Chains A and B, each alone.
Chain A
Amino acid sequence: VNGRDPGRRGNLFEYFLGGAVTFLLEASVVLILAVVAVTLSSIILALT
């Protein structure tokens, strides 16, 4: 268990830094999925 362990008490800054990074990654996942959805929709609409 190192200093970055979010289960440790009194590590407030690490909690929020870790959380903020995670939240940005989740938003990035949605962005990538949106690009995939637009690409798939374009192909499908072109084919139909």
Chain B
Amino acid sequence: MLLRPEREDLRVISYAIGRIFNVVAAASLAPLTWAVLGREWHPFGSFLLMIGVFALLGQIAVRFRPKQEQLDWSHGMVVVALIWLLVPAIGSIPFIFSGHFGSPLDAIFDAVSGLTTTGLALVQDVDHLAPSLNFWRHLLQFLGGQGIVIAALVLFAGGGSLTLYYGEARDDRILPSVRSTARFIWAVALVHLVAGMLVLGVIAHQFLGFDWRRAFFHALMVFFAGFDTGGFTPQSTSIGYYHSGVFEFATAALMVAGAMSFGLHFAMWRRRGGVALRSLETRTILTTFLATLLLTLAGLAVTGAYGSIAGLSRQGLFQVLSAHSGTGFATVPSMELAGWSGLAVVGLIMAMGLGGMASSTAGGIKSLRVGLIVRAISDQIKQLLLPEGATVSREYYQSGRRFLTPELAQSAMTTTLLYVALFILGTGVAIAYGYEMQEALFESVSAGANVGLSVGLIEPTMPALLKITYMLQMWAGRLEFVAIFALLGFVYAWLRGK
């Protein structure tokens, strides 16, 4: 029998949401300031409205202060699931009034895509979007990649912060407390911000001939979307716009940084690179990366899409790296990507679905799960082949020696199955609308694994139900299901509980 949530439960949830809204309202002052400095008065008004809504709802919510602020497991999960729905809904206000979206649904789609670090976009004429609005699109990716709730945790770490941390699909407690772990995650981002801005800014100025202001604007946007594996760019032609191998190289380094788990960042930070190389997850991602790269290059070579070694390796490597890291940057237009051979597309779909490392800003199934599943299967086969009574060692290395328990293997398999079901859902809906199997699968995996590469199916004219399906996929894929099941359970208990 399910117990109906009490008024106190709602107060606890509302209070936590209110406090996070206040943090988001404060963060939204950044694009407002940008609009003032750039004298962009139309976006300024819409930013003011959005901040007002966040602040007003935040203030109302925190007025319902609970007797105890302690969040239990289900409260935390419900808060995370709701925050990841409500923030993009309210955060889309400046987009709705920008005149660059066909409908409010398209604006919300881009906000969801931004916050979940997916990078699929329905914005029209992005090349002429006001810089402050472009900044807000990219800032959403930064906030989403870092974990919007983790951002709040840095400022207030009350009781139950661990459940909020886990709710955002992070399971790596790097430092003893959640607050210090959250602070470390932000430290990594800020250091990369400085390094990334300097490197990209200087390249844009020296190699592309941009003036310093324009160079650093592009550097900031590409940093936000690259490090947080988001994939938005300030122009419709993505990274292909720059026509620069050096710029692509620096962008690729940011994508690698984004796909790395914060645990691995911590190991490297403490000069423990050897430890990182021994870990199951690092070895798995290197293996799957090379396999998908080989498939994609072979597929491209067979059709003769790129005749030279330089062209083939440059385009193949960048697109596979973008797909595997879950970034979604591209150096070829969607239409050209759609023309890639079946084998090359299979390579990209596999790379997108597998995703980056666990507890990183990337989406997808995640390399740790893949590694655990492969290890579990190989252990089972070994057990069958060995003489009766012999035992197979279940030890593996991942930030220390660990044991692959049946529960751990089952959990990895369950989440992987849920991802596969999510990919099938989006593919099925698109096929039902008459789209081809290959493009339907590509876009569905791209949405569910929070990648953002597209072969052109996702555009403002697609059916509204398909847009909603992709939004749900982005939301579920980013939170890795647990928080969403908790929210559904909470709603069910509210409606049917005793």
Contact = CB atoms under 8 A, between A and B. Distances in A.
Interface of A: 1, 4-9, 15-16, 18-23, 25-27, 29-31, 33-34, 36-38, 40-42, 44-45, 48
A7 B181 contact: yes
Given A4-B270, A23-B195, A37 B297 contact: yes
Contact of B184 (A6, A31, A33): A6
Given A18-B269, A19-B188, A27 B301 contact: no
A41 to B, nearest CB: 4
Interface string B164-199: 000000000011100011011001101110111000
B316 A37 contact: yes
A9 B249 CA distance: 33
B273 A25 contact: yes
Interface string B261-282: 0000110111101000000000
B271 A38 contact: no
Given A6-B266, A44-B297, A29 B188 contact: no
Contacts of B191: 15-16, 18-20, 22-23
Interface in B307-338: 307, 309-310, 312-314, 316-317, 321
Interface string B252-264: 1110110010000
Contacts of B27: none
Contacts of B316: 37, 41
Contacts of A37: 293, 297, 313-314, 316-317
Interface of B is mostly: helix
Given A7-B175, A22-B268, A30-B249, A41 B256 contact: no
A30 B293 CA distance: 13
Contacts of A16: 191, 194
Contacts of B30: none
Nearest to A29: B256
A25 B256 CA distance: 10
Of A21, A26, A48, most B-chain CB atoms within 10 Å = A26
B56 interface: no
B184 A7 contact: yes
Contacts of B174: 7
B228 to A, nearest CB: 14
A44 B316 CA distance: 12
Contact of B301 (A1, A30, A36, A44): A44
Contacts of A9: 183
A6 B269 contact: yes
A2 B298 CA distance: 48
A13 to B, nearest CB: 11
B194 to A, nearest CB: 7
Given A25-B273, A27-B253, A5 B268 contact: no
Contact of A36 (B271, B273, B293, B312): B293
Contacts of B321: 30, 33
B195 A19 contact: yes
Interface string B190-214: 1110111000000000000000000
Closest 8 pairs (CB-CB, A-B): A19-B191, A18-B269, A37-B317, A37-B313, A7-B180, A41-B313, A7-B175, A41-B312
B302 interface: yes
- Chain A CB count within 10 A is highest, among B175, B317, B321, for B317
